[in-house]
Amino acid sequence: MTIETTPRKQPRQARSQATVDALIEAVAQVLIEHGYEGATTARVAERAGVSVGSLYQYYPNKESLIAALIERHAGSFVTAIDEALAGAATASLEEGLRAIIRAGLDTHRIAPALHKILVEQVPRVGRMAEVMDTSRSVAKSIERLLRAHRERFPPERDPALAALVIETTLEALTHRAVIERPELLASGRMEKEMYSLLTGYLSSPPVLDVRSPRPRAGRKKKAASR
Amino acid sequence: MTIETTPRKQPRQARSQATVDALIEAVAQVLIEHGYEGATTARVAERAGVSVGSLYQYYPNKESLIAALIERHAGSFVTAIDEALAGAATASLEEGLRAIIRAGLDTHRIAPALHKILVEQVPRVGRMAEVMDTSRSVAKSIERLLRAHRERFPPERDPALAALVIETTLEALTHRAVIERPELLASGRMEKEMYSLLTGYLSSPPVLDVRSPRPRAGRKKKAASR
Amino acid sequence: MTIETTPRKQPRQARSQATVDALIEAVAQVLIEHGYEGATTARVAERAGVSVGSLYQYYPNKESLIAALIERHAGSFVTAIDEALAGAATASLEEGLRAIIRAGLDTHRIAPALHKILVEQVPRVGRMAEVMDTSRSVAKSIERLLRAHRERFPPERDPALAALVIETTLEALTHRAVIERPELLASGRMEKEMYSLLTGYLSSPPVLDVRSPRPRAGRKKKAASR
Amino acid sequence: MTIETTPRKQPRQARSQATVDALIEAVAQVLIEHGYEGATTARVAERAGVSVGSLYQYYPNKESLIAALIERHAGSFVTAIDEALAGAATASLEEGLRAIIRAGLDTHRIAPALHKILVEQVPRVGRMAEVMDTSRSVAKSIERLLRAHRERFPPERDPALAALVIETTLEALTHRAVIERPELLASGRMEKEMYSLLTGYLSSPPVLDVRSPRPRAGRKKKAASR
DNA sequence: AATGAATGAGTATTCATTCAT
DNA sequence: CATGAATGAATACTCATTCAT
């Protein structure tokens, strides 16, 4: 009696595909217009120009419908990152970081309103939690980038952890900018800050002990005072 | 005809105060156990050991009840940060950063499960959006810290923007750690990474132009290659 | 954000029409059995043999459902009056009056119990107030009748005012008879009194001054003493 | 287990009486301001400046409270009519009618807003039905007036029935004027129409048979053509 | 007597989901 | 395959009434 959350059928006919597309497009629109609470199946179906019955023909429940929408967006995001890295992989670490930053910002620039809703209102529960989690995949890509430039970091640096940190911060900054400070996106300032943050982070030596800072901890102070 | 979201009455009798406390405690528990959607007023009232009627005697609607819970938590967070900075204000920039990091992590360590729910499931809509927004206040505090050490940064650095970046990243990293990688918290590794991130960011010179990186951009490379 | 009170959708399938009919019939019955306060949507739906959901598929709220019932009755009443007058328009004033009286009584004879509830318990508020107000329309019809026989009245008589008086009194008398003295209806006595009241009223000269009746105000006394 | 609807105690102390008065005054105000549905016991108590508990000290339930209000108003109305007739009893029939008309209008002029609510919104159910029925008493008074001038009517005229008709029409016209056409009250026009209606009615001979009107029914036509 | 906190049955309304046509 | 009518469990919220203080 577990709830199905995967699409019900792989539409093979053109008409079916059109319906599926219309539905996804419709959820997006309805989500933007009415918010998560206001996104009823009836409204989505109506907006898609099909009947509720048809909606359920392709998606077993509301969750799966929204999941599909998210999946598509998340997917395009992951793809963008990967492509960016693929293109820049051979290049320098800096090129790679820039590529990631730009890919992230670009993807979010497409449908900021939708992203806002997705981030702010859609509950990260059940299937949705999984689907919304592009982080792991993106983090993996970043980790790969870092490992490709292993010689640039001291051996104490854990690439997986650094990748997690980078992914998390980039995502958070992108969302905040998209949602609250779009002008920082347009002007390119956010991009600069992100770049500065990442290069600073990666060049900064791993902290040995944060808890008991020795008064004259030479290295740390120096690093910070530069 | 706007919806009231502020508590309904200031309880004057001791009995009332107990009811209010029980309610807040109950929402927290129910939220953790049943998630946002499952947090019905009936359940909360039952858990609090009072009647639904009593719930509505003090909170005009479900939203205001949850908002009250959030407010309390958010409040304690902001307070913690401010106290941390107050204590460290006279000290070095580094002390200040450490204090902020630790205050953030400490606050979230108290009720990570609740925080998870709050962050992942509670829709940032209406009143909730406001109440959940501690960022602005915290960012202000951070900005103050940065300005107090203005001589440490090149003039191009905008303290307000830097504060926004710091606040955003710290919050995101804290949440991620709390939610997905508690062991990073326990081991203190996350704390180190955060510190490294911030010091690196602040010591890294503001990027002049990200878009057209000149092949042999001496300074940047150097900074990054450290 | 005003409350909708008009029916939600025009049923297109035969099944729908049946549901709508069943609902209207059900409200009437429930109203009679349980009174206005006892007429819950659940009860109505149950009596109609449909689910609450179906009720709300056709009526956006309880008010609109009851309004629909009233509208139907009121409509049939207005129609009856108009038909009565249409048929009697060419005839004498007396024929017209008789027709109106009878139409009113006849309509109310159909469902006196329902009328009782409607008159006594349904609050004349919002939409209901409008819908219940057949008076204006009926008064207009009466006015038309009076004007058609203008030569029968002294010029001081204001047909609009007279129509209002006639409409009001007929309605009140009908209701009272229906509710408290059904035997007066059955015996035809009420009909006679109404006729007598109207003809007396219309033949009586408009009073010139009620406030300071001169002791031997010839005309008035005479008129009254007849 | 029948519901009590009579006041709970006869207050003997001055303070009690003040509370009772305040409560009655408060229901009236609340009724006017918020309508019947909006007249909650809490609101009434608050407006009266006492606690809900106190309200229930004097009235066993909401119904009895409103009933008390109605009773007071109705009582003053009946009293007014009776006094009017007592004073005019010895005088002519016309004087009596005028006195009744005026008494009715005067009473309603005092608190038209409250009357509107009472008539339109308060459900005539249970105790309320009784209390609202001043008609019987007033009709009795009118009947007495008519009998006192028995010689003025043909023996076929049933004084009880005529009284019922008069009472009903006067009440209805008064309410309508109060509610919808206050200007007719102010100008005195309604008073004239009422007088005209009553004298016309009483002077018009009882109709013998309404159903088969003889084409040349001399008397009736004459009466009407006046 | 007075207070006002507490009660909880009761109600309107929504919306994901099903299924006969 | 599509439709949209029908379902009914679930939920927020109200308010008359009680009763401990």
- The 10s digit of each residue's pLDDT in B145-159 is 999 999 999 888 999
- Residue A89 in this model has a pLDDT that exceeds 70: no
pLDDT score of B91: 79
CA distance B170 to B91: 21
CA distance A135 to A166: 10
Q: C touches which chains (3+ CB pairs under 8 A)?
A: D
CA distance B94 to A181: 28
In terms of Cα–Cα distance, which of D136, D74, D201, D171 is closest to C172?
D171
D53 CA → F19 C1’, Å:
9
pLDDT grade for D1, boundaries at 50, 70 and 90 = very low
Q: Are C128 and C122 within 8 A, CB to CB?
A: yes
Domain assignment present for C121 = yes
In this complex, do C95 and D197 lie within 8 Å of one another by their Cβ atoms? no
Domain assignment present for C101 = yes
Q: Which residue is nearest to nucleotide E11 (CA to C1')?
A: C40
Query: In the structure encoding, which two tokens stand for residue A107, read together?
Result: 């993807």
**Which residues in chain C touch residue D135, judged by CB atoms under 8 angstroms apart?**
176
- What is the distance of C-alpha D183 from the center of its chain? 20
Bases of chain E below 7 A from a protein C-beta are 1-20
Mutate to test the interface with C, among D135, D149, D196 (most CBs of C within 10 A): D196
Q: What letter represents residue A119's amino acid?
A: V
pLDDT score of D85: 86
pLDDT score of A217: 40
B28 CA → E17 C1’, Å:
31
pLDDT score of A172: 94
pLDDT score of D110: 87
> How would you write A124-191 as a 3-class SS string?
CCHHHHHHHCCHHHHHHHHHHHHHHCHHHCCCCCCHHHHHHHHHHHHHHHHHHHHHHCHHHHHCCHHH
Smallest CA–CA distance, residue D140 to chain C, in Å, is 16
- Residue A218 in this model has a pLDDT that exceeds 50: no
In this complex, do C223 and D199 lie within 8 Å of one another by their Cβ atoms? yes
Q: Are D160 and D210 within 8 A, CB to CB?
A: no
A73 CA → F4 C1’, Å:
31
CA distance A89 to D49: 78
Q: What angle do CA D49, D55, D57 make, to 5 degrees?
A: 130
- The 10s digit of each residue's pLDDT in D120-157 is 999 999 889 888 888 899 999 999 999 999 999 988 89
Q: Which of D152, D197, D225 sits opposite C165 (nearest CB)?
A: D197
- What is the distance of C-alpha A4 from the center of its chain? 25
Query: CA separation (Å) from D14 to B61, B71, C31, D64?
Result: 41, 49, 44, 21
Q: How many CB pairs under 8 A join C and D?
A: 167
**Which residues in chain C touch residue D172, judged by CB atoms under 8 angstroms apart?**
168-169, 171-172
Mean predicted confidence (pLDDT) in C167-182:
92
Q: Average per-residue pLDDT in chain A?
A: 86
pLDDT score of D179: 86
B101 CA → E5 C1’, Å:
44
Mean predicted confidence (pLDDT) in A130-145:
90
Domain assignment present for D222 = no
Domain assignment present for A1 = no
Q: Does A23 touch chain B (CB under 8 A)?
A: no
Domain assignment present for C217 = no
pLDDT score of B220: 42
With tokens 């958010």, the residue in question is: B74
- Residue D116 in this model has a pLDDT that exceeds 60: yes
CA distance A94 to A156: 20
pLDDT score of A208: 61
- Residue A14 in this model has a pLDDT that exceeds 90: no
Low-confidence ranges of chain B (pLDDT < 70): 1-5, 7-14, 88-90, 206-226
Query: CA separation (Å) from C31 to C23, C69, C117?
Result: 12, 10, 7
Smallest CA–CA distance, residue C13 to chain D, in Å, is 37
Name the nucleotide with the smallest C1'–CA separation from C18.
Answer: F5
Domain assignment present for B132 = yes
Question: Residue B115: what are its φ and ψ, rounded to 5°?
Answer: -60, -40
Domain count, chain C: 1
Alpha helices, DSSP H, located in D111-209: 112-120, 126-132, 135-148, 159-180, 182-186, 189-203
Q: What angle do CA D109, D113, D115 make, to 5 degrees?
A: 70
Smallest CA–CA distance, residue B204 to chain A, in Å, is 5
B68 CA → E17 C1’, Å:
35
pLDDT score of C183: 95
Percent above pLDDT 90 for chain C: 61
Q: Does D156 touch chain C (CB under 8 A)?
A: no
Q: Which residue is nearest to nucleotide E3 (CA to C1')?
A: D51
pLDDT score of D16: 81
Which of 50-89 (D) contact C at CB < 8 A?
none
Host domain of residue A37:
14-204
pLDDT score of B223: 39
Give the domain CATH number at C169.
1.10.357.10
Q: Average per-residue pLDDT in chain C?
A: 86
Enter the pTM of the model. Answer: 0.84
- Residue C221 in this model has a pLDDT that exceeds 50: no
- Residue D9 in this model has a pLDDT that exceeds 90: no
Return the top range by mean pLDDT from B133-137, B204-208, C214-218, D183-187. Answer: D183-187
Domain assignment present for A86 = yes
Which of 189-208 (A) contact B at CB < 8 A?
189, 191-193, 195-197, 199-208
pLDDT score of C41: 98
Smallest CA–CA distance, residue B169 to chain A, in Å, is 5
- The 10s digit of each residue's pLDDT in C80-98 is 998 888 876 667 999 999 9
φ/ψ bin of A115: left (φ > 0), alpha (ψ from -120 to 50), beta (otherwise)? alpha
CA distance C64 to A92: 70
CA distance C193 to C179: 17
CA distance C16 to A120: 40
pLDDT grade for C8, boundaries at 50, 70 and 90 = low
Q: Which of B124, B189, B204 sits opposite A121 (nearest CB)?
A: B124
Domain assignment present for C222 = no
CA distance A42 to A27: 11
- Residue A88 in this model has a pLDDT that exceeds 80: no
